[in-house]
Chain A
Amino acid sequence: MADIVASNVSIDIPIYDMASNSLRKMLLGRVGGNFASEGSHVIIHALKDVSFEANAGDRIGLIGGNGSGKTTLLRVLSGVYPPTRGSIEVHGRISPMLDTQLGMSMDATGIENIRMCGVLWGLAREEIEAGIDDVASFTELGEYLKVPVRTYSAGMRLRLAFAIATLRHPDILLLDEVIGVGDAAFFGRAYKRLQGLIERSRILFVASHTNKILEDLCTKLLWLHQGSLVAFAGVHEVLDAYTRDGPDVARERFRQAPSAAPAPV
């Protein structure tokens, strides 16, 4: 059985404007004014009928323009967005690193943040205590860990957040462009740490706009366009099509030959 099975996943996100997000509309509607027609709010179809499977060893890159549904798909995988229609099965420990600064408190010290964010990331107390030294040496923050995070520079904050988020070793790792952290020297170390984490994980999903990162980290690419799946195949097949064809042309071609789309010379 596959570790992840998505079957016809659709996500509709209701957008309530000021009036319809309030009781007024409901009440007035009942009273009989002509303000409200029930269900008049806007719905965004963030994902449409997305189906795929992922197995141990898969390193899957998500590509597509802004608003194509990459982050939404990561949220579906992390479990926070229950599918409106369709279903998703995910087996294993997940670390959804959509924002590494999850739960970080500006007024708390570095150490306090390690303890607090560590709990949110799902670490046991012993794992956190054991990880404090690791975070300290990796971030090179030293004595800074004893002062409130608000005194940190933006780069220092990112370092700390990244170190905490990567303390846990998940089965399934979800990344959303988190690799752009800090200065060049730190970037190299962060990238190495991330690669270590990826190697120990069973499945990786990474949303990125950087081809280099996708080529380095991934074995497959999943191309989303306006919430629909265009292609799910090998990195180079999809990247070629992505840079060359429009989504409609590509979708047709990948549908005809799902496993190996013809690579024109």
Chain B
Amino acid sequence: MEYSKSQLQSFGGDIYLGVKASEIWTILGWNDIRQRYRRSTIGPFWITLSTGILIVGLGFIYSHIFKTTIETYLPYLALGFIVWGFISTVTNETCGAFLDSEHILKQIRIPFSVFVLRVIWRNFIVFLHTIVLFVPISIVFGIVPGWTSLLALPGLLLVVLNQFWLGTILAVFSARFRDVPQMVAAVTQVAIFATPIMWPVSALGDHTFVADINPLHHMIDIVRAPLLGEVPGALSWLVALGLNAVNMLLAVALLQRASKRLVYWL
């Protein structure tokens, strides 16, 4: 495959060609996973296991703290935690998308977005290994999937897409400013406590606006709520669509602007 310079540098060209080069980012992403779990007997199912233990442990303790029933609390916690895990890991790892692939970027000219997609892909594989936990959870707590559950699919799509735009932005900035990955790590660390993941929105009492103004809450809820049998609020969809639109424009414009300088920053 040969990429023409004009195509790569056109508006959105890098992303278009990057998405099309799926044979590159799927194989790189898979290899990242294999490398991480090579010689381990159960491989990536360690993520399933550790997430499962955490959810059950926290579920028991926190349902008492928040004085809710475990039947409602544990599935809520599980879904919030799993979606959050995907969002936070991808956000952090996309910062290094270009930095970690310096060696390749300095030798062959392939679309930059390939390296963001590689991070998304490997974390999507991890996500699939954790979301399966919802199957035993719904059996144990008698959650019957209905038509509403299907809304989780467009929700998830919006989450993944938004992580791609955001990841592209973060990868470009991190290549130029090496403090960005640290800043992102600091923010995501705090965000899990400020977002309704381990605690329900109702715990905010009269101050539910704290959740309403938190975009992370909406991104998580468009996946979590449908699986719990609730239709996500209109505000959540609006925020998710709005974030996607803004981040998409930023990502495309930034990548085009940076594409002629990016390699020199690495």
Contact = CB atoms under 8 A, between A and B. Distances in A.
Interface of A: 13-14, 16, 21-24, 26, 75, 78-82, 92-94, 96, 98-99, 102-103, 105, 107-108, 112, 115-116, 119-122, 124-125, 148
Interface residues of B, number: 31
A116 B28 contact: yes
A115 B2 contact: no
Contacts of A26: 177
Given A79-B5, A80-B105, A98-B107, A116 B178 contact: no
Contacts of B260: 82
The B interface, classified by DSSP as helix, strand, loop or mixed, is helix
Contact of B108 (A22, A96, A124): A96
Contact of B106 (A22, A80, A108, A119): A80
Nearest to A43: B264
Contacts of B241: none
A144 to B, nearest CB: 17
Contacts of B264: 13-14, 81
B23 A116 contact: no
B27 interface: yes
B185 interface: no
Interface SS of chain A: loop
B257 interface: no
Given A80-B105, A102-B103, A120 B35 contact: no
Contacts of B178: 21-22
B108 A80 contact: yes
Contacts of A78: 107-109
14 contacts: A21-B177, A23-B177, A23-B179, A24-B179, A78-B108, A78-B109, A79-B5, A92-B2, A94-B2, A98-B107, A119-B24, A120-B24, A120-B110, A122-B2
A105 B31 contact: yes
Contact of A79 (B104, B109, B177): B109
Contact of A107 (B3, B28, B38, B107): B38
A125 B23 contact: yes
Contact of A119 (B27, B35, B103): B27
A72 B3 CA distance: 20
